[in-house]
Amino acid sequence: GDGKDGLGMFNVIPCNPNATEEVKALLNYFNELSGNGIITGQHTQTTKQEELKYIQEATGKLPALCGFELLSYSPNINRLQSSEECLLEVKENENTLDNAWEWVTRQKGLITFTWHWFSPMGGKDKSFYTEHTDFDASRAIVEGTAEHKALLSDMDYMADLLKPFCDKRVPILWRPFHEAEGEWFWWGSQGPEVAKQLYLIMFDRYTRVHQLNNLIWVWNSPLPQGYVGDDKVDIISRDLYPPAHQHTDLRQEYEELIQITPTEKLAALGEIGSIPSIPALAETRVPWLWFMTWSNDYGKSELFTTKEELRRAYHHDYAITLDRLPRLY
């Protein structure tokens, strides 16, 4: 498509030609919402989901979008060479998929998944970090290597966990290989071109082999280098951590992000520390589709966003909270 049509909207044909009707309905809703409202989101790192309790106590509301962490489902966690901190993080994160089911079925909210993927081979401790693994992502994209086989094995394992959501036709905002612009995670450690190839391998495998037609593909890097192409992405996003208590419309960051695509794409704040200013966004209409506040201190304390600012955001007409989310499927 050629970006916006006569109605001033984006073309939102799913990048997966076999996408479910529910995916299409959600993308159409996003299309209408973009520039007219923003979806409130919160990442939850543990099964206790203390961030949600905090928001509910502070605002009387819940976010429309909940983020879930998949790190504990990584098949290659080296428990023998892991710190207490790592083991605790894994333990507290176990069974987050049960929480996701509950969120979808009981609350009727939207879901997005983040996978801090412990490296498929080698590695110790929190091996999603480059510094804790010798796993070579540049070898993982080469067919026939041990690294490639390990990569596909982990991908297939995760696909099986995602399949029940597909069977029940639940759309997932799927944000794989997040922060691919950086070298801090193994998938970005060999540069953006390698990260791009990893994403394309997953895209092909998940759409063609596993037929996970419920995934909405979210690319998460502001770099033009390594962009995977408009035909493999539904929504572009970036992660931002502004200074504590700095709340703006993030216009400049939006303008930078949309430079990576030849055609206009829906754009989101995949992760954020201090929340954006909802009153400012209502004025300027910078079309961020959602923001997802990160977990722990970002989402359950006043260190980055005061309760007053949170209330102002969640009670603003421009904010889509859980109670304002239409039933789309």
Q: Give CA–CA dist 231/42, Å, rounded.
A: 28
Amino acid found at 238 = R
- Residues annotated as catalytic are 179, 271
- Answer whether 0.85 is exceeded by the pTM: yes
Give the C-alpha separation, 25 to 288, whole Å. 19
CB atoms within 10 A of CB 43: 24
* Per-residue pLDDT tens over the stretch 84-122: 999 999 999 999 999 999 999 999 999 999 999 999 999
pLDDT of res. 9: 60
User: Would you call 56 exposed, middle or buried from its count of C-beta atoms within 10 A (0-12, 13-18, 19+)?
Assistant: middle
Instruction: Please name which of 123, 120, 116, 119 lies closest in space to residue 71, comparing C-alpha atoms.
Output: 116
Per-residue pLDDT of the chain (329 residues; tens, 9 = 90+): 334 443 446 668 999 999 999 999 999 999 999 999 999 999 999 999 999 999 999 999 999 999 999 999 999 999 999 999 999 999 999 999 999 999 999 999 999 999 999 999 999 999 999 999 999 999 999 999 999 999 999 999 999 999 999 999 999 999 999 999 999 999 999 999 999 999 999 999 999 999 999 999 999 999 999 999 999 999 999 999 999 999 999 999 999 999 999 989 999 999 999 999 999 999 999 999 999 999 999 999 999 999 999 999 999 999 999 999 999 87
Distance between CA atoms of residues 46 and 42, nearest Å: 12
What is the rounded distance in angstroms from the CA atom of residue 243 to the CA atom of residue 17? 40
Residue 244 to residues 174, 250, 306: CA-CA distances in angstroms? 28, 14, 10
Q: CA–CA separation, 283 vs 324, rounded Å?
A: 20
The answer to whether the beta carbons of residues 67 and 115 sit under 8 Å apart is no
Q: Which residues lie closer than 8 Å to 1 by C-beta, 6 or more apart? A: 11, 13, 263
Tokens of 161: 């966990």
**For the chain, which domains are there?**
21-324 (3.20.20.80)
